[in-house]
């Protein structure tokens, strides 16, 4: 039998962010968003600070008063080239410049905002990967929505929700963090129940990373690494498990897949506990730089949380 776990990208992405594993819906569809304005062509930056993109200028004027806020947990698209991402809203010394610059057409998830600072409206965004060939991963952080002259740099993007999944195979297609955030934008807190097989990992976490996650059951190094695949043994998603879910029926990692127990599982994306996720320093002396706390919460919200499970007949 195949042991094809094709959609473990949520766990992989979290691992990249937290240096872990080593170290990581009430629905709210996006069908009511207004269509994005026509793309804004790139222009050569002016030498006048009032019209130069926030990537390279200290603002000196107030933000345009007619900008329409972009709701959190919706999508937007970059409408200019070389848009700077910063660690905090504004261009103060403690707001670090992050790279690479975002290019026109980049799709992002809006996480927070707007926040007015340094004369601009700022949004916290998570860029979605454009392709596997992308050399640098676009950064998570804050971008200015528009220039001082009203030129839009970030515009809302209406992306229809997919149909609600009817089974586990369809549900697994919602998982890849690098491709979409449908679990948050379309099915936040919505329960799904399905049949699957309960699997066991071949390897454990390994060396404890410098930073982990609390609650520990969201942390790949602090929770069981059991995962789910379809009854046929294909597909699969990495999950977080509520602490009272009984995993004693899990197989040994080297058991054939057709001997893995068939279970009925109930769970959801964007579990309420994800809002409490925070960074935990495991090694004060030799850990990496602390991950962005907002990104840690977003990664927790993107995990499928199993809230109950029972063994059933096939």
> Helix-strand-coil percent breakdown of the chain, rounded to 5?
15, 25, 60
Residue 238, beta-bridge partner list: 227
306 and 178 inside one domain = yes
Q: Are residues 119 and 177 in the same domain?
A: no
> 194 and 306 in one domain?
yes
Is the domain of 202 the same as that of 293?
yes
What predicted TM-score, i.e. pTM, was given to this entire model?
Answer: 0.77
Q: Are residues 181 and 93 in the same domain?
A: no
User: Are residues 234 and 108 located together in one domain of the fold?
Assistant: no
Q: What is the pLDDT along the chain (314 residues), one digit of tens a residue?
A: 333 333 333 333 333 333 333 333 333 322 222 233 333 333 333 333 333 334 333 333 334 445 689 999 999 999 999 999 999 999 999 999 999 999 999 999 999 999 999 999 999 999 987 655 566 789 999 999 999 899 999 999 999 998 998 888 888 777 544 467 999 999 999 999 999 999 988 776 767 788 999 999 999 887 888 999 989 888 777 789 999 999 999 999 899 999 999 999 999 999 999 999 999 998 877 567 899 999 999 999 999 999 999 999 87
Q: How far is residue 3's CA from residue 234's CA, in Å, rounded to a whole number?
A: 7
Give the range of the structural domain holding residue 234, as residue numbers without chain letter: 9-27+160-311
Tell me, what CATH number does 112's domain have? 2.30.30
Angle at 224 between CA 219 and CA 227, to 5 degrees: 100
The number of distinct structural domains making up the chain is: 2
Residue 42 falls within a domain, yes or no? Answer: no
Instruction: Give yes or no: residues 223 and 87 share one domain.
Output: no
Whether residue 125 is found in the same domain as residue 267: no
CB atoms < 10 A from the CB of 175, how many?
Answer: 25
Query: Is residue 118 one of the residues assigned to a domain?
Result: yes
């Amino acid at each position: 039998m195949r042991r094809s776990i094709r959609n473990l990208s949520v766990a992989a992405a979290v691992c990249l962010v937290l240096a872990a594993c080593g170290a990581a819906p009430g629905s709210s569809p996006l069908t009511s968003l207004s269509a994005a304005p026509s793309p804004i062509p790139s222009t050569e930056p002016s030498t006048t600070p009032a019209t130069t993109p926030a990537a390279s200028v200290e603002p000196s004027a107030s933000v345009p008063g007619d900008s329409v806020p972009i709701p959190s947990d919706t999508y937007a698209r970059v409408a200019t080239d070389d848009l700077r991402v910063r660690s905090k809203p504004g261009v103060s010394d403690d707001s670090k410049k992050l790279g690479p610059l975002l290019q026109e057409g980049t799709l992002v998830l809006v996480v927070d905002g707007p926040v007015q600072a340094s004369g601009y409206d700022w949004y916290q965004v998570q860029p979605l990967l454009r392709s596997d060939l992308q050399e640098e991963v676009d950064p998570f952080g804050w971008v200015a929505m528009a220039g001082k002259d009203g030129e839009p740099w970030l515009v809302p993007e209406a992306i229809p929700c997919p149909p609600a999944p009817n089974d586990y195979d369809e549900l697994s297609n919602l998982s890849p963090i690098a491709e979409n955030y449908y679990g948050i934008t379309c099915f936040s807190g919505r329960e799904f129940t399905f049949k699957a097989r309960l699997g066991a990992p071949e390897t454990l976490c390994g060396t404890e990373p410098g930073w982990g996650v609390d609650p520990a059951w969201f942390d790949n190094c602090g929770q069981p690494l059991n995962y789910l695949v379809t009854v046929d043994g294909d597909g699969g998603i990495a999950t977080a498990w509520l602490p009272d879910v009984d995993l004693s029926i899990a197989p040994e990692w080297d058991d054939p897949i057709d001997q893995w127990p068939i279970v009925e599982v109930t769970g959801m994306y964007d579990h309420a506990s994800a809002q409490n996720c925070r960074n935990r320093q495991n090694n004060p002396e030799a850990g990496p730089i602390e991950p962005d706390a907002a990104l840690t919460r977003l990664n927790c919200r993107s995990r499928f949380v199993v809230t109950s499970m029972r063994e059933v007949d096939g």
